[in-house]
Amino acid sequence: MSSLNNNTNRQSTGGLTPRLECVACLVRQAHEAVVSATTDPRLREAALRQTLNLLAGMDWQLSPPALAQQIHRLIRDVSRNPDPYAALKERLNSRAEELYPVWHNRFRQKFNPLEAAVRLAIVGNLLDVGAKTQLSDGAVLAAFEDALTAPLLGSIAEFSEAIRSARHTLYLADNAGEIVFDRDLLAQLPLGNFTLVVRGAPVLNDATLADAQMAGLEDICEVVSNGSDTPGTLLKDCSPEFRRRFEAADLVIAKGQGNYESLAGADKRIFFLLKVKCAVLAESLQCPCGSLVLHHQPAVGFKSDSPAMTSTAATSAISLGSSSPGKFGRVTRPPGK
């Protein structure tokens, strides 16, 4: 097995090299998936034993989503359950529908429509069974409350200009439940100029076409599958149709940790929207755990005369071991902060 390192090279496909903490997190995630997949103790043990053997022999230079894809394929196969988180996804979608009207109004009362939509989309990223910390309903509500006053790491002006000038945008969704809170941001994008992308098959609680339909997003925009069962966006594993769309898009909006882990460093202009949930990601993005992040990754050779556009140009080379300061060119603070 190859050794772990802290370097991520700028390349066409992107992706972060995992740390030992990531491998430990994958083991924890596998155990939870096995428990969700079957009640049969023999199948649980068989699935977990095979997962540990698989992980021990895998190339740990692969990005965390690439490792997770193989693990969850094995668990689904051994447990004979094609969607271990199906019931949980239904509950998350239902709970998100209950929460959405209240928090839509509260964020719109405090911020302009675009910043309100960005903050709501980011805090919705908490609804993630792949993350290390699972939150109670009370903790989720507290996190929404906190997002009304916490700084937003990134430039709303830069993001607004990117949306305005893009000819076509791909919006890469993340999780079921969370996808409900993407509604407001999708509504801010120019009609006919963007496409929402979901996973091609069930993995963890990631959103699929069924979740987008449940959230009513097909009434807002075109929704397509990326053709992959990776909890992220591994371009080489996606369908030819999705890769064509990705290549043609001049702007990508990518939600969540898995999309960041698989596309960081890709030669594409991307805005990553996520809540930082672990120390490894916090180190990569050079911000505290719990931060609300709107991170701009310019494509290679991207230039702009706008000061807001150039303020984060130095953030394009991303590494889990990077220690350079000034990751975010702008910090957007709520009124009065």
Question: Which of these, 304, 310, 303, lies nearest to 326 by C-alpha position?
Answer: 310
Average pLDDT over residues 269-295: 96
The answer to whether the pTM exceeds 0.85 is: yes
Q: What is the predicted pLDDT for the residue at 74?
A: 98
Q: Is residue 58 a contact partner of residue 70, using CB atoms and an 8 Å limit?
A: yes
Confidence at residue 303, expressed as pLDDT on a 0 to 100 scale: 60
Confidence of residue 8 (pLDDT cuts 50, 70, 90): very low
Helix (H/G/I), strand (E/B), else coil: 297:
strand
In this prediction, residues 166-189 reach a mean pLDDT of 97
Confidence of residue 208 (pLDDT cuts 50, 70, 90): very high
* Average pLDDT value for the chain: 88
Task: Enter the tokens of residue 251.
Answer: 């702007």
- Confidence check: pLDDT of 4 > 50: no
Place of tokens 């022999």: 57
| Low-confidence winner among 4-13, 173-182, 273-282 (lowest mean pLDDT) | 4-13
Name the band, by pLDDT with cuts 50, 70 and 90, for residue 324: very low
Rounded distance, CA 89 to CA 125, Å? Answer: 14
> According to the model, what pLDDT value does residue 333 have?
66
Q: Yes or no: say if 282 and 276 are a contact pair by the CB < 8 Å rule.
A: yes
Q: Give 89-122 pLDDT, tens digit per residue.
A: 999 999 999 999 999 999 999 999 999 999 999 9
- 301 pLDDT band (50/70/90 cuts)? low
Q: Would you say 56 and 26 are in contact if contact means Cβ atoms under 8 Å apart?
A: no
- 180: confidence class by pLDDT, cuts 50, 70, 90: very high
Identify the CA nearest to 178 among candidates 273, 108, 111, 106.
Answer: 273
Q: pLDDT class for 183, splitting at 50, 70, 90? A: very high
What pLDDT does residue 252 have?
A: 98
Q: How far apart, in Å, are the Cα atoms of 234 and each of 12, 15, 112, 200?
A: 11, 8, 34, 12
Is pLDDT of 317 > 80?
no
Please compute the mean of the pLDDT values over residues 6-33 and round it to a whole number.
77
**Which CATH homologous superfamily contains domain 89-332?**
Uncharacterised protein PF01937, DUF89, domain 3 (3.40.50.10880)
The answer on pLDDT for 328 being more than 80 is no
> Phi and psi of 171, rounded to 5°?
-110, 110
What mean pLDDT do residues 268-279 have? Answer: 96
Angstrom CA distances, 145 to 54, 106, 140, stand at 41, 9, 9
Q: pLDDT at position 145, please?
A: 97
- How far apart, in whole angstroms, are the C-alpha atoms of residue 118 and residue 186? 10
Residues 6+ apart with CB under 8 A from 306: 158, 161
pLDDT higher than threshold 50 for residue 275: yes
DSSP single-letter state for residue 149 = T
Given this model, what pLDDT does residue 137 score? Answer: 84
201 beta partners = none
Whose structure tokens read 């830069």? Answer: 158
Quick check: 133 pLDDT over 60?
A: no
Q: Is the pLDDT of residue 173 over 90?
A: yes
pLDDT band at 9 (very low <50, low <70, confident <90, very high): very low
Least confident span in 176-180, 260-264, 326-330: 326-330
Among residues 298, 284, 306, 295, the alpha carbon closest in space to that of 331 is found at 295
